[in-house]
Amino acid sequence: MPRDTLVIALPKGRILSEAMPLLRAVGIEPEPAFTDPDSRALRFHTNHAHIDLIRVRSFDVATFVAFGAAHLGVCGQDVIMEFGYPELYAPLDLGIGACRLAVAEPKALSGRDDPSRWSHVRVATKYPEVTRRHFQARGVQAECIKLNGAMELAPALGLCRRIVDLVSTGSTLRANGLVEIEHIADITSRLIVNRPALKTRAAEMNHWIDALAEAVNNAR
């Protein structure tokens, strides 16, 4: 990477369509290939000669930024909490991707279950670290089975009785006979920043942080 190129990492999933209006509001416009569904490119030039965008999986946004391969990024608070990278600074709530992280179980089980009596729980989740920390805080040992999606299938197929997953409308839980039994955290997406880059490129990085903060305020 040429030393002076600023790299912004964006998640390719659902957050992208909500993040792009904010980037455009601060005057960053990607090259046409970015919106071309046939393009296999992963790195894109923008209307700023010294700014490139990369489009990666949401968990990988945090990794690219933490290791300084990208300078700025957008990702969910769920991802930030799961990694706990000390090199990441998350100065700005972008007010997009609102959902919550919750524990859920089959509706039939919830009527007779008492979570306050658990000493051990087996959970399917994409978030084993957050899950372990959540249960550890009240002395419950969590055994986590890592899945990368479709956690809601796990109880019906006997993998485990509980899951920890993101919930927004609750439709996915309902469609799979599950109910939310514990709230872990409210989630939105944040602007993330590589801490060392914030020191070495302070003026430039702070310019974009401030501009995005203004765009978020205007979007409210």
Ligand X SMILES: Nc1ncnc2c1ncn2[C@@H]1O[C@H](COP(=O)(O)OP(=O)(O)OP(=O)(O)O)[C@@H](O)[C@H]1O
- Minimum CB separation of residue 189 from ligand X in Å reads 6
Are 167 and 99 spatial neighbours (Cβ–Cβ below 8 Å)?
yes
CB of 163 to ligand PRP, least distance (A): 9
Among 69, 109, 166, 179, interactor with ligand PRP by CB under 6 A: 166
Contact call for residues 78 and 13 (beta carbons, < 8 A): no
Binding to ligand X (CB under 6 A) within 161-180 occurs at 166, 168
Q: Taking the alpha carbons of 62, 63, 68, 71 in that order, is the dihedral positive or negative?
A: negative
* 31, 43, 68, 172: residue in contact with ligand PRP (rule CB under 6 A): 172
Q: Residue 1 or 98: which CB sits closer to ligand PRP?
A: 98
The answer to whether 11 contacts ligand X (rule: CB under 6 A) is yes
Q: What are 88-91's contacts with CB under 8 Å, separation 24+?
A: 88/62, 88/192, 88/193, 88/194, 88/195, 89/192, 89/193, 89/194, 89/195, 89/198, 90/190, 90/191, 90/192, 90/193, 91/190, 91/191, 91/193, 91/209
Which of residues 170, 180, 209, 211 is near ligand PRP by CB under 6 A? Answer: 170
Rounded distance, CA 46 to CA 24, Å? 11
Binder to ligand X among 25, 31, 43, 59 (CB under 6 A)?
A: 59
Q: How many residues bind ligand PRP (CB under 6 A)?
A: 11
Instruction: Choose the stretch contacting ligand PRP; rule: CB under 6 A; options: 43-51, 163-171, 195-203, 205-213.
Output: 163-171
Interface positions with ligand X (CB under 6 A): 11, 13-15, 57-59, 76, 78-79, 97-99, 166, 168, 187, 189
